[in-house]
């Protein structure tokens, strides 16, 4: 049953953890232990569906497997599966790796078989049939060479000299597996730019495989002798999966106050290019306790919250980050500046067309991005990100799409819904449990206060700051417009220079809003005119959000007339309040305030009342960010003479919101 998920927002991670074993190595360990001469034992096997498919497959092929808690014992039959009388049907699920490696094993064994998979796997090209035919394998497929396929096993395959042009570890490993069960010495030439777990594991097990690097290490020449004894794998604890770690690393990087250590991570140079990219973007990542283990290198990784900058990826790097590209797109979405990812052809033929699917879903979430030929350009968050829209993420049953947008939700306050979320079971089934285990509850609560003119927003906020003392911060968003009004007045220009004010808006700091000149009569006369200009309001939106989200106080109070609807909609604030009082009460307060402030008594109560009624009408009917009470806002009546009445109610709401935060 497909599960829709609305993941948690505003998450951070603290602590240390070891992840389940690397998926690529887990599958190779299972399939090679089936061919080993004797009994193999290993621990911390990957817990995703793809790994389970590999286990089920060798069991159906007659291999005994014993699972005792975290320990797996496999009774190998030697290189080449024993003959099975009848044709066997094998369901490969969603696993492209398992399909390609098992196909090579079966095609060179005395077994007739039919392989099929789920809808996603059945739409992906195998790209190994021509390679395996060079060894004398007999595989029948449709014209597109997709699953299902029929394999007429040939136990007498012979050595071959082949050249593989595609940057694909699965194709290379498929050729190696077939060569292991073929007579003679096979030679395989390929690019040296994809993961090499099969080669490293075989060398560690002392199988006769030789690897030479040519042309500045860009070309790999492999020679392998077939029909030889394969040693068993003994007491191997499979290292943490770096591709799964990538999601937690990006989550920790982008979230506030994160400090996460992931233990025993595989750091094969072809698997951690994504870390090098994040480091160049400004991520605080440390790799320590490096050590060699079963032919691979492993280490512990610590990651802390960081601010990222955009990056331009080199085309030749792409094959080594192919699985991590979706989560790197998420990192780029929250980075400052533009990022570009070229040479993404291979991304189109993964579990889904990941280039298209990521692009469409990022656009839905308010990320400014575009596809240019086979490249993806990401420019950061657009205003759509802050809209009231709750986008539905179409995963196309692709586990890395679901995981990527789980992280998108976790590092932001954007509410999203992910369809077919259970597809994460393919590679990272316990991801939510791990996040929950590492999640440290945040103390910070953001409160959006909207309300009518003279409803007492400022007085209420100032009273709350006094109540909470150093824990609370009050930000009056209207001061930003007053600051720009003051800048305009000091320029002594008759016409408002909008472009200049937009540029000035980007430079406003919090300390600039403490200037007493902001409350002068001259500023008051022009501020409403400047506040109506759309480009200025747009420029100040990001300034407001930067001040709000970067503030370290536990309670952040933000007052204005479009805070809950425009500046901090939906989950971007933890509590929304709408302050109001009957217009005659507000007019009386305003009249008394003016009477006490100014010696000029030319104004009267009725004039003030008419002005407030007109202002209410203008505020509620204006085209740009009208004053409205959003559905989730609590209505706070401030009609009492005593400000303590609304304060008590608001403090109760703050306590409730803090408990559920």
d(CA 501, CA 498) in angstroms, rounded, equals 5
Q: How far is CA 311 from CA 331, 357, 376, 561, in A?
A: 10, 21, 12, 38
Provide the 10 A C-beta neighbour count for residue 225. Answer: 17
SS3 assignment, position 436: helix
323 catalytic? Reply is: yes
Burial class (CB within 10 angstroms; exposed 0-12, middle 13-18, buried 19+) of 643: middle
Angle at which helices 242-254 and 325-333 cross, to 10°: 0
d(CA 174, CA 128) in angstroms, rounded, equals 7
d(CA 658, CA 661) in angstroms, rounded, equals 5
Q: How far is CA 200 from CA 20, 101, 173, 195, 348, in A?
A: 20, 16, 11, 10, 28
Provide the 10 A C-beta neighbour count for residue 419. Answer: 18
DSSP H helix total and E strand total for the chain = 20, 26
Residue 188: half-sphere exposure toward Cβ, Cα within 13 Å: 31
Paired residues of 68 in beta bridges: 71
d(CA 209, CA 224) in angstroms, rounded, equals 4
Marked catalytic residue, from 193, 300, 323, 580? 323
d(CA 436, CA 211) in angstroms, rounded, equals 44
Pick from 533, 563, 545: which is nearest to 623 by CA?
A: 533
Which H or E element spans position 274? helix 273-281
Contact (Cβ atoms closer than 8 angstroms) between residue 197 and residue 295: no
d(CA 358, CA 368) in angstroms, rounded, equals 12
Buried/exposed code over 291-324 (b: 16+ C-beta within 10 A; e: otherwise): eeebebbbbbbbbbbbebebbebeeebbbbbbbb
User: Which residues form the catalytic set?
Assistant: 323
């Amino acid at each position: 049953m497909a599960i829709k998920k609305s993941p948690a927002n505003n998450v951070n991670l603290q602590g240390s953890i070891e992840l389940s074993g690397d998926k690529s190595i887990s599958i190779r360990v299972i399939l090679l232990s089936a061919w080993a001469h004797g009994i193999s034992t290993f621990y911390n096997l990957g817990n995703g569906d793809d790994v389970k498919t590999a286990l089920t497959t060798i069991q159906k092929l007659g291999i005994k497997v014993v699972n005792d808690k975290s320990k797996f014992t496999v009774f190998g039959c030697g290189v080449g599966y024993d003959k099975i009388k009848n044709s066997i049907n094998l369901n490969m699920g969603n696993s492209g790796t398992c399909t390609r490696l098992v196909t090579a094993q079966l095609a060179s064994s005395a077994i007739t078989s039919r392989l099929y998979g789920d809808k996603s796997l059945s739409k992906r090209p195998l790209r190994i049939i021509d390679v395996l035919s060079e060894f004398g394998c007999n595989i029948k497929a449709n014209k597109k060479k997709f699953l299902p396929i029929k394999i007429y096993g040939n136990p007498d395959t012979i050595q071959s000299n082949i050249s593989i042009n595609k940057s694909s570890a699965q194709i290379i490993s498929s050729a190696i597996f077939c060569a292991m069960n073929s007579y003679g010495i096979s030679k395989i030439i390929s690019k040296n730019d994809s993961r090499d777990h099969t080669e490293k594991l075989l060398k560690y097990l002392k199988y006769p495989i030789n690897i030479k690097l040519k042309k500045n290490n860009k070309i790999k020449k492999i020679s392998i002798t077939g029909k030889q004894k394969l040693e068993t794998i003994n007491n191997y604890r499979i290292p943490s999966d770096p591709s799964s770690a990538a999601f937690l690393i990006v989550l920790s990087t982008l979230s506030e106050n994160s400090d996460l250590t992931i233990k025993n991570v595989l750091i094969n140079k072809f698997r951690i290019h994504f870390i090098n990219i994040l480091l160049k973007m400004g991520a605080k990542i440390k790799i320590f306790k490096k050590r060699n283990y079963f032919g691979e290198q492993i280490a512990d990784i610590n990651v802390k919250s960081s601010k990222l900058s955009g990056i331009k990826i080199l085309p030749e790097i792409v094959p080594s980050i192919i699985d991590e590209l979706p989560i790197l797109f998420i990192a780029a979405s929250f980075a400052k500046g533009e990022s570009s990812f070229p040479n993404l052809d291979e991304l189109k033929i993964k579990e889904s067309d990941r280039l298209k699917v990521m692009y469409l879903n990022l656009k839905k979430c308010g990320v400014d991005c575009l596809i240019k030929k086979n490249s993806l350009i990401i420019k950061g968050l657009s205003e759509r990100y802050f809209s009231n829209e709750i986008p539905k993420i179409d995963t196309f049953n692709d586990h890395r799409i679901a995981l990527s947008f789980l992280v998108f939700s976790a590092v932001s306050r954007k509410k999203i819904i992910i369809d077919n979320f259970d597809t994460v079971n393919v590679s990272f089934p316990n991801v939510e449990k791990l996040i929950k285990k590492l999640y440290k509850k945040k103390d910070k609560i953001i409160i959006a206060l909207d309300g009518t003119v003279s409803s007492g927003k400022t007085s209420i906020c100032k009273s709350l700051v006094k109540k909470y003392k150093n824990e609370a911060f009050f930000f009056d968003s209207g001061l930003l417009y007053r600051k720009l009004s003051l800048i305009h007045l000091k320029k002594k220009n008759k016409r408002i220079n909008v472009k200049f004010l937009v540029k000035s808006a980007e430079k406003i700091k919090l300390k600039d809003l403490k200037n007493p000149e902001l409350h002068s009569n001259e500023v008051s006369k022009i501020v409403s005119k400047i506040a109506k200009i759309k480009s200025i309001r747009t420029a100040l939106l990001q300034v407001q959000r930067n001040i709000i989200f970067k503030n370290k106080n536990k309670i952040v109070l933000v007052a204005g007339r479009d805070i809950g609807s425009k500046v901090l909609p939906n989950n971007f604030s933890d509590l929304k309040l709408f302050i109001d009082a009957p217009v005659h009460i507000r007019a009386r307060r305003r009249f008394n305030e003016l009477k006490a402030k100014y010696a000029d008594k030319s104004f009267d109560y009725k004039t003030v009342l008419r002005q407030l009624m007109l202002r209410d009408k203008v505020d509620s009917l204006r085209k740009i960010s009208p004053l409205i009470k959003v559905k989730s806002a609590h209505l706070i009546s401030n009609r009492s003479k005593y400000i303590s009445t609304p304060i008590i109610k608001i403090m109760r709401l703050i306590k409730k919101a803090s408990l559920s935060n």
